[in-house]
Amino acid sequence: MLTRKQYELLNFINNRLESTGVSPSFDEMKDALHLKSKSGIHRLITGLEERGFIRRLPHRARALEVTRLPENMGGQIKGNVLRPNFEGGTTGAPAEHKHLPLLGRIAAGTPIEALRDSASEVEVPSALIGSGDHYALTVEGDSMVDAGIFDGDTVLIRSCDTAENGAIVVALIDDSEVTLKRLRRKGASIALEAANPAYETRIFGPDRVRVQGRLIGLMRAY
């Protein structure tokens, strides 16, 4: 799932490439999205790049290439340009929604004690989550900002006890701490990797970490 700002930036880059063949500058992107600094553009581009929507062309200044556009994400493709529909659902049909338990706050930084209070719920379009059991968590901290996950975001999690190498997971450490990190297997050890250079990768024995779910999307209020 892309955030609204990621959609807007992807549209802007794609439109500029279609019309001029040259990707816009960071200042032009900042102005187009009404952001105050270029650091926000850097984060959005990193998020789009990690999700496979754009790539940076080597040895060329400010060169970006749009590699794909989202489909079946509540928007329409007109020509080769995405026209997002943020008013709810796909065009011509009301969206179906599911209510997921909102289990509390999860640390994207220093791990916090696991929360199991499911008194709250969050409404999510069914198309975002598919089959299986899911739940939502509110992000606290900034260690995953380079993956496009910010403090206050609501992350959507598919319940599972295993995940592929490189997936962003909810990890339970020593049955008492929970954190949102990228999973890396290093031999017999498990590394929980931040997406922010200010945070160190933490490495644990395999018996100390249990996967509680895998990130499949996020929601953000503006």
- The pLDDT tens digits for 142-173 are 999 999 999 999 999 999 999 999 999 999 88
* pLDDT tens readout for residues 95-114: 477 888 888 888 776 554 45
pLDDT above 80 for 88: no
pLDDT above 90 for 61: no
Average pLDDT over residues 11-37: 86
Instruction: Report yes or no: 67 and 54 within 8 Å, Cβ to Cβ.
Output: yes
* pLDDT tens readout for residues 118-130: 557 888 877 777 7
Query: b/e per residue, 80-106, with b = 16+ CB within 10 A?
Result: eebebeeeeeeeeeeeeeeebbbbbbb
What does the pLDDT read at residue 116? 52
- Domain parsing of the chain, residue ranges: 4-83, 100-219
What count of residues does the chain have? 222
Q: Please report, for residues 118, 147, 203, the alpha-carbon distance to residue 44 in angstroms, rounded to integers and kept in the order given.
A: 31, 9, 28
Give the predicted TM-score (pTM) of the model. Answer: 0.56
Which residues have a catalytic role annotated?
143, 181
Pick 100-219's CATH classification: 2.10.109.10, 3.30.390.10, 2.60.40.10, 1.20.1630.10: 2.10.109.10
Q: Would you say domain 4-83 falls under CATH 3.60.150.10?
A: no
pLDDT above 70 for 136: yes
Q: Please report, for residues 141, 150, 188, 206, the alpha-carbon distance to residue 162 in angstroms, rounded to integers and kept in the order given.
A: 24, 24, 15, 12
pLDDT confidence band for 22 (50 / 70 / 90): confident
What does the pLDDT read at residue 144? 93
| Position with higher pLDDT, 95 vs 203 | 203
pLDDT confidence band for 205 (50 / 70 / 90): very high
Which stretch of 14-18, 73-77, 98-102 has the lowest confidence by average pLDDT? Answer: 73-77
